[in-house]
């Protein structure tokens, strides 16, 4: 597991447990054994469940942990998704952190899967964005991928995306693209006007980002490009509109809402005593 994820989980446990779970320490015998079951409370796309072994391991481990679902799996309302057995205090102190991660990440995966389903049968790939919760980007992008979305750049360091402010600062589309000569990572440029579109094509741009067009306008631009560059469409795309943009011929559609507006799903953790 990536070191960033391990550190994220450590911080979450430290944030919640601190110097100790006072309630469990004062109400539950130290040697009490229990079984905990995680249930989905709705039809969801699962994500984050792979963190359960790490969460319990970082608090000393458990006797048994079984994941009945994997990232990307679908559930029905009431379906059992994981079982854990071990020290009752440990199960209780890890409960909220485990639920927080799985609920949040499954919410991202569930929303992602809806966007992917909305463009089924077209050639369009749905992309996520950098509009993620600070500190959770790697996890949220993994959740988006579990929902069937194609991950876009992880950050500013692995992909060149020339946006409107870069174009303004560089002095124009042509000047901005010229500065990327010899780049060893993908280069994409945003075009805001018909003139910028043609300027980018004349400069040899191979991937274009077009923003805030209607589906009809987007189709006109796609037809004009005629395969000379791949096209990503973004800007206020919703579940109600994404199909129209896909049918306009977009190669990619990026949707910030997948991460910034996903709603956590409902899960339940039930404990029973053993022995």
Query: 231: helix, coil or strand?
Result: strand
**Residue 105, φ and ψ in degrees, nearest 5:** -70, -35
Q: Is residue 119 part of a domain?
A: no
Q: Is residue 209 part of a domain?
A: yes
21 as an active site residue: the answer is no
Instruction: Supply the range of the domain harboring residue 84.
Output: 3-110+263-273
Element holding 99 (H helix, E strand): helix 88-118
Name the pTM for this structure: 0.95
Q: Which of 114, 138, 163, 219 is catalytic?
A: 163
If one counts the domains in the chain, the total is 2
Q: Which of 37, 96, 138, 219 is catalytic?
A: 96
Specify the CATH number for the domain of residue 176.
Answer: 3.20.20.70
Specify the CATH number for the domain of residue 15.
Answer: 3.90.1170.20
pLDDT of 219 reads 96
| Residue-wise pLDDT tens digits, 130-188 | 999 999 999 999 999 999 999 999 999 999 999 999 999 999 999 999 999 999 999 99
| Residue-wise pLDDT tens digits, 85-132 | 999 999 999 999 999 999 999 999 999 999 999 999 999 999 999 999
Identify whether residues 187 and 245 lie together within a single domain: yes
Identify whether residues 155 and 248 lie together within a single domain: yes
Q: Is residue 38 part of a domain?
A: yes
Identify whether residues 166 and 237 lie together within a single domain: yes
pLDDT of 103 reads 98
Find where tokens 């809806």 sit: 114
Find where tokens 């945003």 sit: 190
Q: Is residue 140 part of a domain?
A: no
In this predicted structure, the answer to whether residue 275 has a pLDDT above a threshold of 90 is: no
Query: 270: helix, coil or strand?
Result: strand
Q: Which of 16, 211, 247, 266 is catalytic?
A: 211
Query: 175: helix, coil or strand?
Result: helix
Q: Is residue 115 part of a domain?
A: no
Identify whether residues 105 and 12 lie together within a single domain: yes
């Amino acid at each position: 597991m990536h070191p960033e994820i391990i550190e994220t989980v450590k911080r979450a446990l430290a944030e919640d447990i601190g110097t100790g779970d006072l309630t469990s320490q004062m109400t539950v015998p130290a040697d009490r054994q229990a079984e905990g079951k995680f249930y989905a409370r709705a039809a969801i796309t699962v994500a984050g469940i792979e963190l359960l072994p790490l969460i319990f391991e970082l608090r000393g481990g458990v006797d048994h942990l079984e994941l009945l679902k994997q990232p990307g799996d679908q559930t029905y309302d009431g379906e059992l998704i994981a079982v854990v057995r071990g020290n009752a205090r440990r199960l209780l102190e890890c409960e909220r952190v485990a639920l927080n991660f799985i609920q949040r990440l499954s919410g991202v995966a569930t929303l992602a899967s809806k966007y992917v389903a909305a463009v089924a049968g077209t050639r369009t790939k749905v992309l996520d964005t950098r509009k993620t919760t600070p500190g959770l980007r790697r996890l949220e992008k993994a959740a988006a991928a579990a929902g069937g979305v194609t991950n876009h750049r992880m950050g500013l360091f692995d992909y060149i995306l020339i946006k409107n402010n870069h174009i303004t600062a560089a002095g124009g589309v042509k000047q901005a693209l010229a500065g990327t000569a010899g780049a060893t990572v993908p280069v994409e440029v945003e075009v805001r006007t018909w003139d910028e579109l043609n300027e980018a094509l004349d400069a040899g741009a191979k991937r274009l980002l077009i923003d805030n067009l209607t589906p009809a306008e987007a189709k006109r631009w796609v037809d004009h490009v005629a395969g000379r560059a791949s096209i990503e469409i973004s800007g206020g795309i919703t579940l109600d509109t994404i199909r129209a943009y896909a049918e306009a011929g977009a190669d990619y559609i990026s949707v910030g809402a997948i991460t910034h507006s996903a709603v956590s799903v409902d899960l339940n953790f039930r404990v029973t005593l053993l022995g």
